[in-house]
Amino acid sequence: MNREVQRYLASVPKDRKPLVDKLHGLIIGLYPEAKIDMSYRMPTYKVKDGWVAVANQKQYVSLYTCGAHHLSKFKEKHPGIKTGKGCINFKATDTLPVAAVKGVIKHAIEHPK
């Protein structure tokens, strides 16, 4: 992991740091070979043609996948968690549905198109 990514992760506010660290750990746990860089001004995890990114936003911690098709099952099971076209926006107070998030990560990495 390069220094720019390390600085970004270290700069996350205290209330969101556990969530960012958990998402980072899930991604690396699933794909230890992932190349991590600062694409799109956020830590981006790339494996072959697939990718996901994690960002600290003003109100959320977001997991980006760049495709609504990666989120369809997640949206059905977790309608109370805010989603966008290709992202999930977690509040610091949300309980992270680990199995469902792993499913989103795997789908985005393994089915990039």
Q: Give backbone dihedrals phi and psi of 112, rounded to 5 degrees, phi first.
A: -65, -15
The CATH number covering residue 105 comes to: 3.90.1150.200
pLDDT digits (tens, 9 = 90+) for 63-105: 999 899 999 999 999 999 999 999 999 998 889 999 999 999 9
Q: What is the mean pLDDT of residues 30-58?
A: 95
| Contact status, residue 98 vs residue 111, Cβ threshold 8 Å | no
Residue written as tokens 């789908």?
A: 107
The residue segments making up the domain with residue 92 are 3-110
Report the domain count for the chain. Answer: 1
CA angle 71, 73, 77 (to 5 degrees): 115
Write down the pTM of the prediction.
Answer: 0.94
> Three-class SS string for 54-96?
EEECCCCEEEECCCHHHCHHHHHHCCCCEECCCEEEECCCCCC
| Residue 58 predicted with pLDDT over 90 | no
Q: What is the mean pLDDT of the chain?
A: 94
